Amino acid sequence: MTGRSPARAVDPDAFRAVSRHWTTGVALLTVRADEELFAKTVSSLCTLSLDPPLVSVAVDLRSPLVAAARVAGHYAVSVLTDRQHGLARRFAAPGAGRALGLFTGAPMRTEDTGAPVLEGCLAWFDCLLHDVLPGGDHALLIGRVVAAEGQPGEPLVHHDGRFHSLELDLELDVGPGPVPDSAPGPPGPASGAAPAPDSDPVHRPTAPAGAR
């Protein structure tokens, strides 16, 4: 009986290309740490357990949101509707997901933990940080869900580097653009690589009127 030959390592570009065929929903991961607010578009949300109720989100290790979640001890995940594709693109862009106070044009509220929840989203999970596990070039943020809610609507879908609507049977992404953080992160339609993590200096937007 002969031994098995060592497993080959898949080519990273081939791995990314194949990963683009995996269709996911799109969510906004949010953390408030002291006076700073962090937000990042993700497609890696996964429900892990019913007892206890756990979810996980994979985030690029270089993103400041990972450290912010450790400091805050909580996070929220808001599942986006197909009408929120503009927010999905906005918070997938490097540097767009960090602010002092509130984000302009993205009304949010707090629930049990103090983590921001996006208004008008399809569903949300408010979580205490349960654990942070290594996942290659990503960190797996394990959250214990303390509150959650959903409402009727159509989800925003991510497939082949673009956003889609099931209800409208329409491609919502026109041309190359940023994609949600995922594990592994598929490249944008033209860039060939996942977008760089949030690393820009903190910006100070003006809070929208009536925002909570």
The answer to whether residue 117 sits within a structural domain is yes
What's the confidence (pLDDT) of residue 98? 86
Q: Using alpha carbons only, how large is the chain's radius of gyration in Å?
A: 17
What's the confidence (pLDDT) of residue 76? 97
What's the confidence (pLDDT) of residue 29? 97
Model confidence pLDDT, tens digit, residues 149-169? 999 999 999 998 888 898 765
- CATH number, domain of 151, equals 2.30.110.10
- Domain span at residue 59? 22-171
Predicted model pTM: 0.77
CA distance 170 to 146: 35
The answer to whether residue 16 sits within a structural domain is no
The answer to whether residue 1 sits within a structural domain is no
Whether omega for the bond prior to residue 94 falls within 30 degrees of 0, making it cis, is no
Mean pLDDT throughout 168-174? 56
The answer to whether residue 129 sits within a structural domain is yes
User: Side chain identity at 66, as an amino acid letter?
Assistant: V
